[in-house]
Structure 1
Amino acid sequence: MPSRFGAVKDSSNFANNKVSHEGMVLIPAGQFAMGASDQEGRADEYPQHQVKVSSFWMDVTEVTNASFKKFVDATGYQTTAERKPDWEEMKKQLPVGTPKPPDSVFVAASLVFYAPKKVISLNDASQWWRWVKGADWKHPQGPNSNIKGKENFPVVHISWDDAMAYCKWSGKRLPTEAEWEFAARGGLKNNKYPWGNEDIEKGKPKANTWQGSFPIKNTDWDGYNSLAAVKSFKANGYGLYDMAGNVWEWCSDWYRPDYYAKLSGVANNPKGPADSYDPMEPTVPKRVVRGGSFMCNAAYCKGYRVTSRMKTSVDTGLEHTGFRCVSDN
């Protein structure tokens, strides 16, 4: 995902609240085969490897607008999308000597989905993403939009920095990638999806994803054109909702495409690589997001598979990116 080049908000002044496990479920300790075992995965989903995780608590749903508003009201926190980009941070991710753009481009903005009339190539995501001035968690499609009546929808336009700030305030943390995948599987072994192996568009709707021709036409077969309220679909075996589709969810891990290949034996509570490296954008630090979103379609992105991994710069929030929290048992 592209970078917003935003400044990191210091969340050190947010006092840790006493952790409440209300709205959470206890995920049991266990060992599982992490990563893809079929031929559908991207290269960074292999090799499949054995992982042990300790028990932990996990939010039943993605963090909602209502919950995030409580955090903002209590702390005065301003999200990355609500702040002007910081040139000093921005130039760290650009070739040395890159001239500073005019001040007019340094505006608070975020990436909003736009359905184009035609698509030249599905390899060019800029055809359906637009930087929109004034787009943020309170205005998901821009300044003329709002979240009135959507208190129970997942909060979006959330950067990794924003998610970490919320976690610190709530006394929780982001899940590791291993914890996330173990929880998403819901106790099922070697299945493709949180519900089993039935294809996403067979039987009854099972998750909020894209049906039709992406990104031009969504048939809304699952009942939703964009975001859905949390708990709109059946929970998985652990009682977790929307572990596939709706919004991508931040994990704590740095992203490296070869991380799995460097593990040996049984990995015990792996926390990811020590730093980030994406060969496509070597200068941009990225973290892992999991679970897919309402924009995932088999022709372009099967991010709703339990093993699917995506990477996003830590300072970027998008219309389909949110998070959920965990805490130690």
Structure 2
Amino acid sequence: MQANAAAEESARIAAESEAAVTQSAFEAQIIAITAEAVALAGTAQSEEASLSNATATGEAVMQQTVAAERAVEQNRVTSTAVAATATANFENAVATATQGARASATATNSGSSGTTQPTVTPDQAALSLDAQLKAFVREEDNMPMLFISGGPFLMGASGELSNLDEQPPHEVIVPSFYLDKFEVSIQQYADFLNRQGGNRGMCAGFDCVKTQVDTAMGEPAQQFWLFEPRPGSGSFPITWVSWYGADAYCHSIGRRLPTETEWEYAAKGLDGRLYPWGNTPPVPNENAMFGYQLRDFQRGFKPVDALPAGVSPFGIFGMAGGAAEWVSDWYQADYYNTQSTSSLPNDNNASGENSVRGGSWLDPATELRVSNRGHLPPAVQTVDDTVYAGVGFRCAQDANN
């Protein structure tokens, strides 16, 4: 009997402790929500001192949370920069050896002209090395930009996996250019909205973004003075962004969206691969994020610098799955039938839609092929605007700029 009584007493104490912990957690959640509600509504001070204290505490908690998130983000950026410096130092040493090898592999054919003729065609490894050696970090938003060496490549696809708008394959000559190593993040886009003072500004009178830049104080459409990503999401790629919002961001920092040709070249490289990493099918959470449902939003994204197994031949992250990406071109289903070798963007706006490349976290594996072409209206105004839930972007610039 004494043993039973002791056991019952222990169970009672444990239950009370668990209830106390649960109650504390619930109260903390309410305090945070109260602070958010007060910030949104702009209400006056509470008549009751207890509610005022709770609100002040909640605001402090929210400010600490945002500050902590920014500190984590800054530490991540700093760590990435340190690692990039170490990598660059190593690659400089490799480059010296590589350049020596290239020089010895080049034959001198003087003939009547007396000029030097290379006998070795640049391979993908050499171009990948150049991409890293000539890279720089953009001052405006701390984005690394990689150098993409230009040249001819086979754009489009044929075969049973390809769609009609990917056919026929045709050679295109691409000038050298720079491309963002990562997709633009939620934090970077929130900073852009704060710089322009709202969710329209430079976006041709349309909303720049739908709801992805969720703030600690409410939805973007409800405020125009401060945009903050929710804690933990700042390093994820921005999505729900309109073409106008993507274009405005790039132009605000003196860059532009990549052309459809540039995008495919950076993702495909010289060997005509199916996916940025090669010809093997994508593996979830290893080299791409794909195949999720809208309800899986919390699991469908990773930071923009995640999944190194999925990088393109030039070292570009996130070109398959996660966030699909706007390019500068207007979409035209039969555009490849022109067999044009120009890399200029298509300016025929008859379709009323812009091209989207790369596939998203909501798409099946077949949509992640580097030659696959998506398309959407440039403004987020459709009845089913959830189609924009997986659309983001990155920026480019001319090599001589």
Alpha-carbon contact 1:290-1:303 (below 8 Å) kept:
no
2:252 partner letter: W
Alpha-carbon contact 2:184-2:238 (below 8 Å) kept:
yes
> In the alignment, is residue 137 of structure 1 matched against residue 137 of structure 2?
no
Alpha-carbon contact 2:209-2:242 (below 8 Å) kept:
no
Moved over 3 A (4+): 17-22, 82-86, 142-146, 215-218
Using the alignment, how far apart are the partners of 1:174 and 1:83 within structure 2? Answer: 16
SS of structure 2 residue aligned to 1:70: helix
Using the alignment, how far apart are the partners of 1:19 and 1:55 within structure 2? Answer: 22
Higher alpha-carbon Rg: 2
Taking every aligned residue pair, what percent have the same amino acid on both sides?
A: 33
2:360 partner letter: S
Question: Normalised by the size of structure 2, how large is the TM-score?
Answer: 0.55
1:320 partner letter: G
1:239 partner letter: G
Alpha-carbon contact 1:36-1:48 (below 8 Å) kept:
yes
Distance 1:52 1:153, change over 3 A: same
Aligned position for 2:145: 24
> In the alignment, is residue 271 of structure 1 matched against residue 345 of structure 2?
yes
Higher relative contact order (CA 8 A, sep 6+): 1
Any residues of structure 2 matched to 1:251-270 within 5 Å, and which? 251-264=327-340, 267-270=341-344
> In the alignment, is residue 314 of structure 1 matched against residue 378 of structure 2?
yes
> In the alignment, is residue 208 of structure 1 matched against residue 275 of structure 2?
no
Question: Normalised by the size of structure 1, how large is the TM-score?
Answer: 0.66
Alpha-carbon contact 1:256-1:273 (below 8 Å) kept:
no
Using the alignment, how far apart are the partners of 2:141 and 2:300 within structure 1? Answer: 31
Aligned position for 2:315: 239
- How far has the Cα of 1:217 moved from its partner? 9.1
Any residues of structure 2 matched to 1:78-89 within 5 Å, and which? 78-79=199-200
Distance 1:109 1:73, change over 3 A: closer
2:326 partner letter: W
Distance 1:205 1:136, change over 3 A: closer
Aligned position for 1:162: 245
SS of structure 2 residue aligned to 1:161: helix
> What 5-or-longer segments of structure 2 have no aligned partner?
1-137, 221-227
- How far has the Cα of 1:37 moved from its partner? 2.8
Distance 1:217 1:197, change over 3 A: farther
Alpha-carbon contact 2:324-2:356 (below 8 Å) kept:
yes
Structure having the higher helix fraction is: 2
Distance 1:260 1:150, change over 3 A: same
> In the alignment, is residue 189 of structure 1 matched against residue 271 of structure 2?
yes
2:356 partner letter: V
- How far has the Cα of 1:109 moved from its partner? 9.5
Aligned position for 1:54: 175
Structure having the higher strand fraction is: 1
> In the alignment, is residue 292 of structure 1 matched against residue 373 of structure 2?
no
Alpha-carbon contact 2:199-2:209 (below 8 Å) kept:
no
> In the alignment, is residue 66 of structure 1 matched against residue 140 of structure 2?
no
> What 5-or-longer segments of structure 1 have no aligned partner?
1-16, 87-107, 111-134, 278-284
Cα offsets for 1:243-274 (capped at 9, x unmatched): 0000110000001101111234xx12231142
Using the alignment, how far apart are the partners of 1:72 and 1:216 within structure 2? Answer: 25
Using the alignment, how far apart are the partners of 2:294 and 2:240 within structure 1? Answer: 22
Q: Output the aligned Cα RMSD.
A: 3.3
